[in-house]
Amino acid sequence: MIKLYGWWSTNPQKVRMALEELSLAYDYQEIDLGRGRHRAAEYRAIHPRGKVPALQIDDCLLWESGAALMYLATREGRLWPSDRAAVAQATNLLFFESSAFQESAGVHFFNRCILPSIGKEGDQGRVEKAQRALAPHLVLLNEQLGQQDFLLGDLTVVDLAFAPWLPWLDLQEYPKIVSWRQRLMARPSWQACGIRSPQD
């Protein structure tokens, strides 16, 4: 049995969306971050950093969302390119999401989703600063999309890595990313995961 430990926050939802896209049966274990369940000793034995997600599969344990996405795609031979050059680009984009994009996108998510969910007001100044830092990353994605529906033409786990961040970002200047976001949010896998957006 595949087991996913997660919460409604962004990184677990990437992996959950991939499981749904791949039609893989899995046991979803909710780790309530608000109640500090991620700090419990039994969960720290699963995830050494006490974060989510963690994915147990094939007697393996993956506790980085990008690693879990790549493992699932290559395991199933789906949602991952086969051409060598496209594999290189997919890997670049997947690492780019975790090493650069996520930092600024996370500021938007924290101030526009996390804080309001606990009755606190977000810091608009921090959001604006993060938006400036995010701008060159959005230009890169906009150019990568070109006239394609998804980052590499067909849907891959790379799209899913970015997906949960997109509803919380200011994208008015990037119409291709807006269309990409709409395509991702319309997918049954998005609905199955209950990924949050400002309209919820």
- Checking if the pLDDT of 191 tops 70, the result is yes
* pLDDT per position as a tens digit, 146-182: 999 999 999 999 999 999 999 999 999 999 999 999 9
The mean pLDDT of the chain is: 96
Distance CA 87, CA 35 (A): 39
Angle, alpha carbons 152-3-91 (nearest 5°): 25
Indicate the domain borders of the chain.
2-76, 84-189
Amino acid at 45: A
pLDDT value of residue 199? 73
For 102-123, what is each residue's pLDDT tens digit? 999 999 999 999 999 999 999 9
Answer yes or no: is pLDDT of 200 > 70: no
Mean pLDDT confidence for 14-43: 95
Instruction: Give the pair of three-digit tokens for residue 32.
Output: 């309530």
Which residues lie across from 154 on neighbouring strands?
152
| Greatest CA separation for the chain | 48
φ, ψ (nearest 5 deg) of residue 173: -85, 0
The answer on pLDDT for 35 being more than 70 is: yes
Tens of pLDDT, residues 54-110:
999 999 999 999 999 999 999 999 999 999 999 999 999 999 999 999 999 999 999
Q: Is 186 exposed, middle or buried (0-12, 13-18, 19+ CB in 10 A)?
A: exposed
Q: How many C-beta atoms lie closer than 10 Å to residue 109's C-beta?
A: 21
**Quick one: fold of 84-189?**
Glutathione S-transferase Yfyf (Class Pi); Chain A, domain 2 (1.20.1050)
Report the predicted TM-score, pTM, of the whole model to 2 decimal places.
0.96
The three-state secondary structure class of 17 is helix
pLDDT classification of 186: cutoffs 50, 70, 90: very high
Q: Which fold has domain 2-76?
A: Glutaredoxin (3.40.30)
